[in-house]
Amino acid sequence: MNFQITSEQEYQAAYNKSVDQPEEFWNDIASNFHWREKWHTTLKWNFETPDVRWFDGAKLNITENCLDRHLEQRGNKIALIWEPNDPKERALRYTYRELYQNVNKMANILKNMGVKKGDRVCIYLPMIPELSFTVLACARIGAIHSVVFAGFSANSVADRINDSQCTVVVTSDGLNRGAKQIPVKSVVDEALEHCPSVEKVLVVDRLGWPVNIHTGRDFWYHEELKTVSDQCEPTIVEAEDPLFILYTSGSTGKPKGVVHSTAGYMVYAGYSFANVFQYKESDIYWCTADIGWITGHTYILYGPLLQGATSVMFEGVPTYPDPGRFWQVIDKHSVNIFYTAPTAIRSLMASGVDHVLAYSLHTLKTLGSVGEPINEEAWHWYHTHVGKGKCPVVDTWWQTETGGIMISALSGISELKPAHAGLPLPGIQPILVDGEGNEIQGNDVEGYLCIKFPWPSMIRTTYGDHERCRINYFATYKNLYFTGDGARREANGMYRIIGRVDDVINVSGHRFGTAEIENAINQNKKVIESAVIGYPHDIKGQGIYAYVILGDLEANNNNQTRDEIIESVVEHIGRIAKPDKIQFVSGLPKTRSGKIMRRILRKVAEGELSSLGDTSTLLDPTIVDEIIAGRLT
């Protein structure tokens, strides 16, 4: 690794170079990777169309960088430690050589199932080693993986499969979640009733459950394993060939498939991992995210493996068998770098500090936070009780669309300030703009967070609909990538992320569009109209508050109707998007042109009743009084 920054001066020098000579800056970093052919053009870009190309002309396979090139030096080093849901079950360890062999076998199985370069493979698996094998196996053969978090419903799976026309699905019989066991294959079966593109399904046996096997379509992984070799030549791809699709919610319509390219994503994943966490060769690193989200893609698999690191993958939940589970795993595997989400920290905080104090945690050097703003109280608890006051907490701001960490302290190098993501990584040029898109200069200012120059792992398109990508991210402000977040830049230039400024709710670090949840609620026949907003929630960051108009007024305040509405959301999106509060109303505050005044609904949900603003221009101002009277606290 020749690109690890080791001091504040080096950071400043690297940052300046990345702005003054961006191509040279990235050429140097990219030269640390293994290329079958070098690029002829470092960068070509246009944010209007948008069209961004990095390392054009290069040929590579990302798994050669994650696996093959480590075999000589690190063949016997542990690449992956898998910690099961049940602490009594044995943890599994895979060396780089074993991981390489498992990936090759999975790649050969996929090939036998007919998967070719450019084909889309839907991966709907829990956090078991086979999930990692499958992701990397797709990359090995140039197929595009689309991982769908195993908490999504059959409808959501079907939508995602159909949008990208996946031909193969990889899944499991069921999954463990704390004390519960949850079916998985049956969800796929239900989804596939509506997915004509899918030809084959591969099923991993996790629980020993019987499943429906559709002859000719479904195959057991353990049976197929017997038929394949552990050698598989990597398929060589072009720099801009897509590596994966990951669906994420936006402010409008159904989730969109964010497309990442191969070379740029690789370079940025490896670079950002090494620098933010200041990873050293012997470190044991653990990111608690699920590989179903971008954090798991970049910082459980690609980033760590690109650096030859040892990465822990955890099947379970923070509270099973008790709220000391994270800390027990840290001691068990001597974890040095730990990366988790504020929502987990807050929920463990609520369970009491005794669960933490029961463990030594002396191996920890660096702590990370991701997914939502971390409040100061949680930051201090994390720093004091988990990090014993000696581990830097890096608060990493980024998005599915950015592919990697954009704004964050570098562990042990940058100044830390609780609840502040800090300074941009070298190569990243954030700016704040006002509502008209004018850049807000200077410090101690607040505005919409945009990025004004391309970086290698940025979104390339939204699958099958490039115009949607343009409108969502590049049309709001001319020549800028718009993040959808608001931010403050403090006196010292550090950024503090305020949160989403669009109709996206961030629940426990998971993104949902309000329109998406409203759609699911409206599927219930009793519902005439609904409006969903986010409100501050002690543990989840944001909770989901739904205002619902029912056709049959008799059903008002009826708990059964409430349960049915929740059921609609579970069925159409998944259990992770359940509304926390459902208030039945006879109408919604609308302008004369029929637009719902969400600002008012938000204020009511937040309990800020004195600052509702002028309601006299509403179509029916009296509705506000009714909503206030029926407010759920």
Q: What interhelical angle do 598-606 and 622-629 show, nearest 10? A: 30
Q: What's the min distance (Å) between Cβ of 457 and ligand WTA?
A: 12
As measured in angstroms, the least distance from the Cβ of 485 to ligand WTA is: 5
Q: Which of 114, 108, 160, 97 is nearest to 134 (CA)?
A: 108
Q: Which is nearer to ligand WTA, 397 or 547 (CB)?
A: 397
Using CA atoms, how far apart are residues 13 and 24, in angstroms rounded to an integer? 13
φ, ψ at 52 (rounded to 5°): -130, 125
CB of 489 to ligand WTA, least distance (A): 14
Size of the chain, expressed as the number of residues it contains: 633
Closer Cβ to ligand WTA, 129 or 534, answer by number: 534
Give the Cα separation of 220 and 308 in Å (integer).
31
Instruction: Name the residue nearer to ligand WTA (CB basis): 3 or 398.
Output: 398
CA 326, 327, 332: angle at the middle one, nearest 5?
100
Q: Which 8-state DSSP code applies to residue 526?
A: T
State in angstroms the smallest separation of the CB of 258 from ligand WTA.
8
Q: How far is the CB of 608 from ligand WTA (least distance, A)?
A: 21
d(CA 321, CA 331): 16
Q: What is the helix (H) or strand (E) element at residue 446, kind and residue range?
A: strand 445-451
Burial class (CB in 10 A: 0-12, 13-18, 19+), 375: middle
Locate 99 and state its tokens.
């991981």
Distances (CA, A) of 115 to 129, 247, 265, 547: 21, 21, 23, 46
- Nearer CB in complex with ligand WTA: 153/248: 248
Closest C-alpha to 628, from 593, 602, 604, 600:
604
Q: Which is nearer to ligand WTA, 64 or 485 (CB)?
A: 485
- The residue among 303 and 323 lying less far from ligand WTA, judged by its C-beta, is 303
Tell how far CA 9 is from the center of its chain: 32
> Coil, helix or strand for 131?
helix
Least Å distance, CB 289 to ligand WTA, is 8
| Helix 559-572 vs helix 154-164: crossing angle, to nearest 10 | 30
Rounded to a whole number of angstroms, the distance between the first and last alpha carbons of the chain is 53
Nearer to ligand WTA, 241 or 502 (CB): 502
> Which CB sits closer to ligand WTA, 171 or 295?
295
Q: What are the residues binding ligand WTA (CB under 6 A)?
A: 248, 293-295, 370-373, 395-400, 421, 483-485, 497, 499-500, 506, 511
Residue 221 phi, psi dihedral angles, 5° rounding? -60, -45
User: Smaller CB distance to ligand WTA: residue 487 or 601?
Assistant: 487
CB atoms within 10 A of CB 478: 9
Q: Which residues, at least 6 apart from 134, have a Cβ–Cβ distance to it below 8 Å?
A: 106, 110, 121, 123, 125, 145, 170
Whether cis (ω within 30° of 0) applies to the bond prior to 321 is yes
Shortest reach from residue 468's CB to ligand WTA, in Å: 16
Instruction: Identify the CA nearest to 402 among candidates 540, 297, 512.
Output: 297
Q: Map tokens 């050097």 to a residue.
A: 365
Q: What minimum distance in Å lies between the beta carbon of 249 and ligand WTA? A: 9
**Cβ at position 510, least distance to ligand WTA in Å:** 7
Nearer to ligand WTA, 156 or 172 (CB): 156
Least CB distance from residue 500 to ligand WTA, whole Å? 5
Query: 200 or 496: whose CB is closer to ligand WTA?
Result: 496
Q: Which pair of tokens denotes residue 288? A: 């608690």
Q: Is 71 exposed, middle or buried (0-12, 13-18, 19+ CB in 10 A)?
A: middle
What tokens appear for 501 in the block?
A: 């400024």
Q: Min. distance of Cβ 514 from ligand WTA in angstroms?
A: 14
State the nearest-atom distance from the C-beta of 332 to ligand WTA, in Å: 27
Considering the complex, state which of residue 146 and residue 176 has its C-beta at the smaller distance from ligand WTA: 146
